[in-house]
Amino acid sequence: MTQPPPPGQWPSVQNTVDGTVVGQSVQAGTIYGGVHYHVSPPPPQPYVTPYVPVHRRSQVWPVVGRWFIALLPLILCTATVGGAVDGAAAGAHIAVRVLLDLIVLAFGVPLLIVWSAVSGRGFGPLLQLVLEKVTPAPLAESSARVLWAVTAGAGFVGLFGFVREALEADQQSPGANGALLFFAMLTALAGRRLVVRHRR
């Protein structure tokens, strides 16, 4: 409730509140004049997006799975050849069995010669085509650094396994011949990709 000021005592101070007031507004002292209230809705509050934790999938297992699937034909082929040689030359020295592995693989050379004569292609380009087909896709698409790592790593593991098998008393560890053949083939394919990459 307001009341007029005493005679001759007009206020010398004016206090004005403009705009939307959210919360309490307090005027201390005597109020002369009218007090007007305009009710307006409060300003909209900004929308805050709730935080939802995102679980990122690991990128390691898809890469490992792709490499395993790509290397699986080579693993099966070398395991089959190594197992057949182990069965045919049971008790032989590991060097003899590795030599027999190479002889078995060399049987593919006459087939390539016949294929070259029938198709009219040269033996060299046909051999390069076959090597391109048997090279796993992830290996063919790898950078030079990865190819160097695969060549050095597979070569070291193969050499270490050969020396270890040669020093064994029985020299007939199960699957050793197939594993050595696999690492030898992997080293050869990766090394060939390095040479081809360097020539280009």
pLDDT of residue 124: 86
Cα–Cα distance list, 140 to 33, 85, 136, 153, 192 (Å):
90, 29, 6, 17, 10
Is 1 a residue whose pLDDT tops 60?
A: no
Q: What is the pLDDT of residues 96-144, one digit of tens each?
A: 888 999 898 888 888 888 888 888 888 888 888 888 888 999 999 999 9
H/E element holding 147? helix 144-167
pLDDT of residue 86: 87
Tell which wins on pLDDT, 196 or 18. 196
Tell which wins on pLDDT, 87 or 11. 87
In a domain, 109, yes or no: yes
In a domain, 29, yes or no: no
Percent of the chain with pLDDT over 90: 34
Is 4 a residue whose pLDDT tops 90?
A: no
In a domain, 11, yes or no: no
In a domain, 69, yes or no: yes
Among 184, 171, 194, 148, smallest CA distance to 86 is for: 171
In a domain, 166, yes or no: yes
* Residue 185 backbone dihedrals phi, psi, to 5 degrees: -65, -40
In a domain, 10, yes or no: no
pLDDT of residue 152: 95
In a domain, 91, yes or no: yes
pLDDT of residue 170: 67
51-77: b (≥16 Cβ within 10 Å) or e: eeeeeeeeeeeeeeeeeeebeeebeeb
Give how many domains the chain has, as a whole number. 1
In a domain, 47, yes or no: no
Residue 167's domain spans which residues?
A: 60-199
Confidence of residue 36 (pLDDT cuts 50, 70, 90): low
